[in-house]
A and B are shown apart, each in its own frame.
Chain A
Amino acid sequence: MMATTVPKLIGARIRRKEDPRLITGSSTYTDDLKLPGMLSMVLVRSPHAHARITEVDLSEAEGMDGVVAIVTGADLEGTVAGLPVAHNLEDLKEPPHRPRSIDKVRYVGDAVAAVVAVDPSRARDAAERVHVGYESLEAVVDIEAATEDGSPLVHEEEGSNIAFEFPFLAGDVDEALLNADVVLRLRLMNQRQIPVALEPRSVIAQFDRGFGKMTLWSSTQIPHLLRTQLAIGLGFPEHSIRVIAPEVGGGFGSKLNVYAEEFLAAHLARTLGRPVKWTADRSEGFLATTHGRDQLNDVEVGVDGEGRLLGMRVRMLQDLGAYHQLLTPAIPTLTVLMLPGCYRLPNLEVHLSGVFTNKTPTDAYRGAGRPEATFLIERVMDHIAAELDLDPAEVRRRNFIAADDFPATTATELIYDSGDYQTALDRLLEVADYAGLRREQKERRARGEVMGIGLSTYVEICGIGPSAALPAGGWEACTVEVRRTGAVVVKTGISPHGQGQETTFAQIVADRLGVPIEAVEIAHGDTDYVPEGIGTFGSRGMAVGGAALSLALDTIRAKAKKFAAHLLEAHEEDIEYEGDRLGIKGAPDRFVTLEDVIGAAYLATDLPEGVEPGLAATHFFEPPNFTFPFGAHLCVVDIDPETGEPTLRRYVGVDDCGNVINPMIVDGQLHGGIAQGIAQALFEEAVYDRNGQLVTGTLMDYALPKASYLPNYELHRTTTPTPVNPLGAKGIGEAGTVGSSPCVINAIVDALSPYGVRHLEMPARPEKIWRAMGSGASE
């Protein structure tokens, strides 16, 4: 048999197929679409964090030029359901989350009315003339104060701001702390962040009266889940709803949701009989799209004299904001699960409380619960090192789960699929020249310079996930159709919005079927075209969606072999499929090509016994477990001793996401992820004032880093495949974010250690660092 005619693409640095259209602006986002007769929706939002609505006066606005309709919360009662929350928690308080408020507003940005007009400017003009009477109430802003007796209540009918308690216990922490040589206590605030996708949210709803069909274009990560929720929420039969996620300009978890505007646009399109569009502007997005993190942890940890973890107790408060969005309460439970990190932690006790406050709801944000866990345990590692005067790398080494312990069961009953943490750390220390850096640090310190080296070793939970662990299914679906001309169409249930699966999936198809990559089309994001799916989040695209693709390709290959065997008059088991040739083992000149097979399959004049015409397959992949990518990061920071300004001089990563389909795309995911983690460590913070006003309401005050603020990344890899899926790939979408925030803070604290500093809260702004060095009056 001749050598394959197609070079192997899996593992190659293939340029992204999607980039030309994105870079040249020839792509279509939701807001680019203009439908005949389309109306614009603008929302009237509360300027108060907490207030009773005393009246809504529409009279002036209704009379304005171009205004078609205005609806308030009361108008929707009984027609449009509340927004969904998906969870597995016992006794979760689920106060109604109406798409428009009726009685009270509970955060700045909570919507009161929707104005529909012939164009967006007129809708906005009219929205300004909707007069809402408010009786202001005391706002619940501070998360600890929210849990106290006598605190004002976000939802009075619930009797408390605590939406749920989630206690967790493994082993005996009291005993462990009693036996510990050292008990350390630390308090860590994981600040609130605002996900800033380049494309703000946007939605268009169109209702076809003739067919009774609703089409919804939305900038979403989850078109299929949205379809189901629209059916439930608006009482539509699911077969007459089509959800399309056209080009989606990033999400980072903030579009992994079902939003009021989606329900409203659909409802209004149906009642008005004309298409309705809503697009957030940046400031509106800051208020009305979910935020991330906002978790306070009080940690008590016991170690032996050698720095080995004996037990840990964590009191965790998660700020939920004013309502549950789709996964709001689930996010901190992921933190709980991942608290052990890369380490052997025999005893763990956690008490998590989810708390309502008068702020924008929190939900998934790149990493979603895991960055919080990693930040916690990696700060703990450095505290142990400081307390026992050990090198932070050594403390990690002493606590790592060993390579031969995998699959490893954690105190939180997760089963880590595969890993080798020590090798990743060793590799990092070598490529970064850790010993040399420590020598350099000594010399610089002697010269009065302030330099720090930070480490973090992380493991995170990806490939989400087994359906048993999720409230709405964790499988993924894929259809592969080999068309008559040899074109291959893949219909995947994931909904990529920047991740690059149009390229990586095409690489897999090209290799496995022996077709040129140009002949492969990866279709996604349209529920009429792609019948089933879950979506893109939780670093699951390749690990779950790719696995479904792999199963479908297996079936296609098997069927192709049947045709080949028939054409060659050979036994199916004797057929080898390499490149685009299907030949008989050991008989190099007896083969047919895929083209021959396709011809036979579609002409169907001479079918093999019991074989149907066509060459297409659909598969659902149910992952038996999560995947657990891991890695080790190091960064070097220089601090200006006079101003406190930190400069990241180097950032080195050794990451392991199992098998890599496209190293360039993996690097790109890491770049973006690390940038977001650095951003949390140094720059970003959503600040609310005492009255619940979002002070960082625009990009003039919310510090999204610019490219010039970030270092070059030096990326290396180890490869530990996962047994969980047929590709051996683990997922890399969030790893960079998970590993980087603690790495940067550890470097800054290391730099400041000569000043007696043990911790600094994120974001480590220059002034904070300056004060930590003893400048300024103490506060």
Chain B
Amino acid sequence: MLLAEFDYAAPESLDEALALLGGGGNVRILAGGQSLLPTLKLRLDRPDLVVDLRKISELSYVREENGEIAIGTLTTYAELLASDFIESGVARCLAEAAASVGDLQVRNLGTIGGSLSHADPAADIPAAALALDCTLVARSEEGDRTIGATDFFHGLWTTALLPSEMLREVRFRKANGGGAYEKLRQAASGFALVGAAAVVEMDGDTIAGARVALTGVGSAPLRLHALEERLAGETLGEELLRDVCGDAGEAIESPLSDIHASAEYRAAMAGVTARRAILRAAG
């Protein structure tokens, strides 16, 4: 409960914040604080400086731009869920993922950008970001840099972001099709024991294209490219999905095993949740 000492800054502009980030030292961004504060309380992280972004109101929005939905990094789960842009279509997977996060208090404070930057291996938003093939916009004093979702997650709590960068925005294309997120909860934390996000575009009974991603199963969320390829062009059916998703677990390099579930169970549940998500996304 008792934090170690650190300096604290709450800049009112993006440039000020970026200057602080670029200034070197062990600097941490504070967004919703829902992951950072527990880490600080347990003294697992001891930054020299904490830069609180919450006074920079321009970082909080959900809007449509050039056929894309753009989400500001500081947008909370609750704000996202209140937006019309994610109610239907492919974005459903993001809405369902956000709705499954924690409890109301956490959804009122935690941010989309915070979840992606924190890159907890069992977080829900990263799976949706992969299934939506999001573009992540990083910002430093040098300007913007865009990173594809598949290149963003590097492993346990590590991303492509550089120490001098912050995540500024997340974007995805407003494509045809549907989306869904399926989650088995780890009973203690409420995070995903296994989570599967799917985006599916149908052409009649035929699967025109699908993107499927898992979270909770390994050190980082992952796209199931091989599975997606096997689905493309096939007629949607229970048997096909059982067959294809039955192997979903094989894509996980070293499935997580802990007191909450074995690797074998996680791998099997990857198949079950993927199948259920695809079916609903298609439906």
Interface residues of A (CB under 8 A from B): 42, 120-121, 124-125, 128, 281-283, 642-643, 645, 682-683, 687, 695-696, 698-706, 709, 765-767, 770, 775-777
Neighbour of A643 across the interface among B3, B188, B259, B272, CB < 8 A: B272
Contacts A/B (CB < 8 Å), 28 sampled: A120-B2, A121-B2, A121-B5, A124-B2, A281-B41, A642-B272, A643-B272, A683-B188, A695-B259, A696-B188, A696-B259, A698-B42, A699-B188, A701-B189, A701-B259, A703-B186, A704-B188, A705-B187, A706-B103, A765-B187, A765-B260, A766-B265, A767-B261, A767-B265, A770-B268, A775-B268, A776-B264, A776-B268
Q: What residues of B have a CB within 8 angstroms of the CB of A687 in the complex?
A: 259
Cβ-closest 6 pairs across A and B? A281-B1, A703-B188, A703-B187, A124-B2, A767-B265, A700-B189
Interface residues of B (CB under 8 A from A): 1-5, 41-43, 103, 184, 186-190, 259-262, 264-265, 268-269, 272
CB distance from A387 to the nearest CB of B (A): 31
Can you add 8 more A-B contacts, CB < 8 Å, to A687-B259, A701-B188? Answer: A128-B43, A642-B272, A643-B184, A699-B188, A701-B189, A703-B186, A706-B103, A776-B262
Q: What residues of A have a CB within 8 angstroms of the CB of B188 in the complex?
A: 683, 696, 699-704
CB distance from A25 to the nearest CB of B (A): 15
- A763's nearest neighbour on chain B, judged by CB, is B187
On whether A777 and B184 interact (CB within 8 A), knowing A120-B2, A695-B259, A706-B103, the answer reads no
CB distance from A429 to the nearest CB of B (A): 31
Could you tell me if B3 and A121 are in contact, using CB atoms closer than 8 angstroms?
yes
CB distance from A359 to the nearest CB of B (A): 16
CB distance from B128 to the nearest CB of A (A): 20
Q: What residues of B have a CB within 8 angstroms of the CB of A767 in the complex?
A: 261-262, 265
Q: What residues of B have a CB within 8 angstroms of the CB of A701 in the complex?
A: 188-189, 259-260
Q: What residues of A have a CB within 8 angstroms of the CB of B42 in the complex?
A: 283, 698
CA distance A683 to B260 in the complex (A): 10
- B41's nearest neighbour on chain A, judged by CB, is A281
CB distance from A181 to the nearest CB of B (A): 40
CB distance from A333 to the nearest CB of B (A): 31
Q: What residues of A have a CB within 8 angstroms of the CB of B272 in the complex?
A: 642-643
Q: What residues of B have a CB within 8 angstroms of the CB of A766 in the complex?
A: 184, 261, 265
- B266's nearest neighbour on chain A, judged by CB, is A767
Q: What residues of B have a CB within 8 angstroms of the CB of A703 in the complex?
A: 186-188
CB distance from A691 to the nearest CB of B (A): 14
CB distance from A284 to the nearest CB of B (A): 9
- B276's nearest neighbour on chain A, judged by CB, is A642
- A123's nearest neighbour on chain B, judged by CB, is B2
CA distance A706 to B272 in the complex (A): 24
- B271's nearest neighbour on chain A, judged by CB, is A642
CA distance A765 to B184 in the complex (A): 12
Could you tell me if A683 and B187 are in contact, using CB atoms closer than 8 angstroms?
yes
Q: What residues of B have a CB within 8 angstroms of the CB of A770 in the complex?
A: 265, 268
- Residue among A120, A701, A765, A767 having the largest count of chain B Cβ atoms under 10 Å: A767
- A701's nearest neighbour on chain B, judged by CB, is B188
- A776's nearest neighbour on chain B, judged by CB, is B264
Q: What residues of B have a CB within 8 angstroms of the CB of A776 in the complex?
A: 262, 264-265, 268
CA distance A643 to B182 in the complex (A): 12
CA distance A695 to B260 in the complex (A): 11
Q: What residues of B have a CB within 8 angstroms of the CB of A765 in the complex?
A: 187, 260-261
CB distance from B277 to the nearest CB of A (A): 13
Q: What residues of B have a CB within 8 angstroms of the CB of A704 in the complex?
A: 188
- Residue among B41, B269, B272 having the largest count of chain A Cβ atoms under 10 Å: B269
CA distance A281 to B188 in the complex (A): 18
CA distance A687 to B259 in the complex (A): 8
Q: What residues of A have a CB within 8 angstroms of the CB of B4 in the complex?
A: 125
Could you tell me if A645 and B184 are in contact, using CB atoms closer than 8 angstroms?
yes
- A644's nearest neighbour on chain B, judged by CB, is B265
Q: What residues of B have a CB within 8 angstroms of the CB of A696 in the complex?
A: 188, 259
- A709's nearest neighbour on chain B, judged by CB, is B187
CA distance A125 to B4 in the complex (A): 7
Q: What residues of A have a CB within 8 angstroms of the CB of B2 in the complex?
A: 42, 120-121, 124, 281
CB distance from A281 to the nearest CB of B (A): 4
CA distance A645 to B185 in the complex (A): 10
CB distance from A552 to the nearest CB of B (A): 43
Q: What residues of B have a CB within 8 angstroms of the CB of A699 in the complex?
A: 188-189
CA distance A638 to B186 in the complex (A): 19
Q: What residues of A have a CB within 8 angstroms of the CB of B259 in the complex?
A: 687, 695-696, 701
